[in-house]
Amino acid sequence: MATFKAPKGTYDLIPPVSVKYLAVREAISAPLRNSGYGYIETPGFEDVGLFARGVGESTDIVSKEMYAFETKGGDQLALRPEGTASVLRAALEASLHKQGNLPVKLWYSGSYYRYERPQKGRYRHFSQVGAEAIGAEDPALDAELIILADQAYRSLGLRAFRILLNSLGDKECRPVYREALQGFLRGLDLDEETVRRAEINPLRVLDDKRPDVQKQLVGAPVLRDYLCDACKAYHEEVRALITAAGVAFEDDEKLVRGLDYYTRTTFEFVHDGLGSQSAVGGGGRYDGLSEMIGGPALPSVGWALGVDRTVLALEAEGIELDIPAPTAVFAVALGEEARRVLFGKVTELRKAGVAADFSFGGKGLKGAMKDANRSGARFAVVAGERDLAEGLVQLKDMESGEQSPVALTELVDAVRARLA
């Protein structure tokens, strides 16, 4: 009979590696939880139209990478390729914007799906932690999110990442630029697909990674020269606030990001140790997205950071996270009576907040002590019939190898005292 494997382009997260991923999620979300962001969870699939309208028909994500399907009931659904559209849809559906406190600040963590050519750092199933601030047009909000992401990465010990920053203008100045760019692109020797893309969303052509296209883009009109006064002032304010917070960034006039909904502030976090897949996360302002998906005007800003990519960045910098062993105490019982008593003590230790495990499967002393070693426990509690007859257990320090008898009734207190 054939054995099943994880689908192509996906991976299973298993111990001990999975602990790293949990630590990364925790580190990214900690500054958000500390800054007024509430947790939100949305379904893994949505109406296909949410992404077609929100993310954009011309984007690779929608046109090539989305997992879209029809249900038995005839609904057209898609596995979510990104988080922002879903979070905004949920916020609108729950009328969070009508409850007075704008912006609505939300953070999320979950799996996303894109049909991509699998390679290191680019999978068909990947996880992100993201944040969205909905319903306020304020440069301080854009700055806050960039600063919080920087703080999250630094808390993990990362140093070799860079923040790229740009402004994409707004509905006043972008159409003027768009026209100038389209005029420039029409004079180039581009393939049919790229010509089509240039007509729908010419900014996406700037994002084309192919060297023959990049070569032709030299001398293309630059958006910065077309920004209206309001957008210029807004962008300068964002830059000033980030700088005042001591966060370094680089101006990148070519940065457009792969989603159609961005306006004004756009940014990307890149790590030079990751080769071609150097982006570890990014985001920006998306003032028109709410209207695109049928809501009222709600200027908003957000970002998503890739958990997988962040783990690769940690490896590239040789950073080992200081993750405590999952088990503090491992109990080894010799004989039936000892099994019954020590199992009760393990339950007691756990209730007292001590991470404890037990030697299951009725192994002998040698096998059970091997398990205790593998568990990473600081202490082993060993007891046989003779110890119990005296009301004792043996407490072994797994680091020093020292062993001492402890009264059974005082075990929980003794363990807590030594761990402290």
Asked whether the beta carbons of 330 and 357 are under 8 A apart, the reply is: yes
Residue 182 lies in a domain: no
pLDDT at 119: 78
Shared domain check, 129 and 34 = yes
In this prediction, residues 374-379 reach a mean pLDDT of: 94
What is the pLDDT, as a whole number, of residue 257? 67
Decide if 247 is inside a domain: yes
Residue 5 lies in a domain: no
* 54, 156: one domain: yes
Instruction: Tell me: do 304 and 371 sit in the same domain.
Output: no
Q: Which of 316, 347, 375 is the last residue of a domain?
A: 316
Residues 355 and 254 in one domain: no
Q: Are 106 and 39 in contact (CB under 8 A)?
A: yes
Within a domain: 211:
no
Asked whether residue 259 falls in the same domain as residue 309, the answer is: yes
168-197: average pLDDT: 86
16 prior amide bond cis, ω within 30: yes
Q: Do 282 and 238 sit in the same domain of this protein?
A: yes
Q: Do 30 and 99 sit in the same domain of this protein?
A: yes
Residue 232 domain-assigned?
yes
Which residues lie closer than 8 Å to 304 by C-beta, 6 or more apart? 82, 83, 84, 128, 129, 130, 131, 281, 282, 283
Q: What percent of the chain has pLDDT over 70?
A: 98
- For the beta carbon of residue 191, count every other beta carbon within 10 angstroms: 11
pLDDT band at 266, cuts 50/70/90?
A: very high
Report yes or no on 206 lying in a domain. no
Rounded Cα distance, 171 and 307, in Å: 33
Number of H helices, E strands in the chain: 16, 16
Domain with 407 in it: what CATH number? 3.40.50.800
> Is residue 53 located within the same domain as residue 162?
yes
Question: 126 and 27, same structural domain?
Answer: yes
Indicate if 233 and 109 belong to the same structural domain: yes
Answer yes or no: is pLDDT of 212 > 80. Answer: yes
Adjacency order of strands within the sheet including 403-407 = 356-358, 329-333, 379-383, 392-397, 403-407
Hunting for tokens 């949990």 — which residue is that?
Answer: 22
Q: How confident is the model at residue 260 (pLDDT cuts 50, 70, 90)?
A: low
Question: How many domains does one find in the chain?
Answer: 2
Burial (CB count within 10 angstroms: exposed 0-12, middle 13-18, buried 19+), residue 1: exposed
Question: Which domain covers residue 370, as residue numbers?
Answer: 329-419
Whether 262 has a pLDDT exceeding 90, the answer reads: no
- 34-79: pLDDT as tens digits: 999 999 999 999 999 998 887 776 677 777 889 999 999 999 999 9
Residues 311 and 334 in one domain: no
Strand partners for 132: 106, 302
Domain boundary among 293, 316, 339: 316
Residue 171: per-residue pLDDT: 84
Whether residue 257 is found in the same domain as residue 373: no
pTM (whole model) above 0.85: yes
* Burial class of residue 284 (count of CB atoms within 10 Å of its CB; 0-12, 13-18, 19+): buried
- pLDDT for res 35: 98
Distance CA 402, CA 388 (A): 20
Domain's final residue, options 281, 316, 351: 316
Give per-residue pLDDT as tens, 228-237. 999 999 999 9
Q: In this structure, is residue 193 part of a structural domain?
A: no
Most confident of 11-15, 195-199, 221-225: 11-15
Residue 123 counted as domain residue: yes
**Residue 41 sits in a domain of what CATH number?**
3.30.930.10
For 379-419, what is each residue's pLDDT tens digit? 999 999 999 999 999 999 999 999 999 999 999 999 999 99
